[in-house]
Amino acid sequence: MEGDHALKIAITGANEFLGSFLCEYFYSAGHEVIAVGKQKLPPPDLKFSAYQQTDLLNPFPAFDADACIHAATYHSETAAYPELFLHHVEGTLNVVEAAKHCSHLVFISSSSVYEFGIHPVKETDARIEAKLSDYGETKLLAEEVLSYEIPASQKRLILRPRVIYGIGDNFFLPKLFDLVKDGTIFSPVDKNIKTSLTHIENIAYAIGLFFRQKEAESLQIYNVADESVYLLTDTIREILSAIEDHPLHVVHVPLKPLSAIDKLYSKLHFIKKLHPAILDAIHQNSVLDLHCIQKGLHYKPGRNFQNSVAEIAGWIKSMGGKKAYLQQLSAS
């Protein structure tokens, strides 16, 4: 595994935003990629060496691979706790068992394992006793699966990104589009709220650094994000204005008391579509401390929002614009 020689890598979630990107990233880098997905067939434009249809909720044979990246996740705003537990915890148990012969195992967790506050959160701040969403709690429980019975020949990495973005995004951008009406951004975010964001390429970069480590602890846990910290309102305005091809005005919508939305903004029904967990997450700073990954992996990411916004806007326009993009999402 040391050095830059080609690896055989099994990657779960091959039909999802992150998993499909990682398949193409490592395939293009010269590695042999086993794309693992639940669907019978992979997306027609996905780059991979082999495709393996697998339901992660059921035990399955061990991967014939040097490394495994468990990137599959379960994004659902209506899922009950048992369903999230099944996908995140039970599914991860099955992946860990199937990766038992791999020398390296990577799990993509989430910054939802934190209860954010004024200061940047460190890896040690994740606590099951904290006030977490069901998504965050089950992700943290899934992390615990990786901390047990680590084979002597295996190294494990847990990464905690904050709002993954980039070309191919099918989660973050639709939430932002919900905020726009008649050329105005109705933002529930205070103008002073700061956040970390994680460009999708920076996740792949961090994994590559892990694969090339000459010496490593059996389990490493790192926050992963762009080096920059962003003002969330400015970020929203910049990306949406780039996609619309003209500057958009921002109107701040008060979240509390919630009755204000009903009384003063009754026509802004699209604001009220935002999931309570999302509303809760954007009323305070959500910044990740990156000291551990910078020290442990010598992490110096090259991608950030400033050098990516034009690229993302161009991708949306190449699809026919915002409307065509949303129609394609609804059809998938």
pTM value?
0.92
Q: pLDDT at position 273, please?
A: 54
Of the listed ranges 149-163, 181-195, 295-309, the least confidently predicted one is 181-195
For helices 309-318 and 232-244, angle between their N-to-C axes, nearest 10 degrees:
40
pLDDT tens-digit map of 89-102: 999 999 999 999 99
CA distance 277 to 279: 5
Contacts of residue 320, Cβ cutoff 8 Å, sequence gap at least 6 = none
pLDDT over threshold 60, residue 305: yes
More confident of the two residues 174 and 302 = 302
pLDDT over threshold 90, residue 15: yes
Instruction: Give the residue-averaged pLDDT of 28-36.
Output: 97
Is it true that domain 8-168+197-225+288-304 has CATH number 3.40.50.720? Answer: yes
The phi and psi torsions of 303 (rounded to 5 degrees) equal -95, 145
Instruction: Give the residue-averaged pLDDT of 6-22.
Output: 96
Question: What confidence category does residue 140 fall into, taking pLDDT thresholds of 50, 70 and 90?
Answer: very high
pLDDT tens-digit map of 168-213: 999 889 888 888 888 899 888 888 999 999 999 999 999 999 999 9
- Token pair belonging to 13: 């979630």
Question: What confidence category does residue 1 fall into, taking pLDDT thresholds of 50, 70 and 90?
Answer: very low
Mean pLDDT of the chain: 90
The DSSP-derived string for 207-256 is HHHHHH-SS--SEEEEEE--SS-EEHHHHHHHHHHHHHTS--EEEEPP-S
Percent of the chain with pLDDT over 90: 72
Instruction: Give the residue-averaged pLDDT of 97-111.
Output: 97
* CA 74 to chain CA mean position, Å: 11
Of the listed ranges 111-115, 266-270, 319-323, the least confidently predicted one is 266-270
Question: What confidence category does residue 225 fall into, taking pLDDT thresholds of 50, 70 and 90?
Answer: very high
pLDDT over threshold 90, residue 269: no
Highest mean pLDDT among 70-79, 134-143, 275-284: 134-143
- Token pair belonging to 157: 């990495």
CA distance 312 to 200: 12
- Token pair belonging to 183: 């050329």
Question: Is the CB of residue 271 less than 8 Å from the CB of residue 186?
Answer: yes
Question: What confidence category does residue 264 fall into, taking pLDDT thresholds of 50, 70 and 90?
Answer: very low
Question: Is the CB of residue 202 less than 8 Å from the CB of residue 108?
Answer: no
pLDDT over threshold 50, residue 265: no
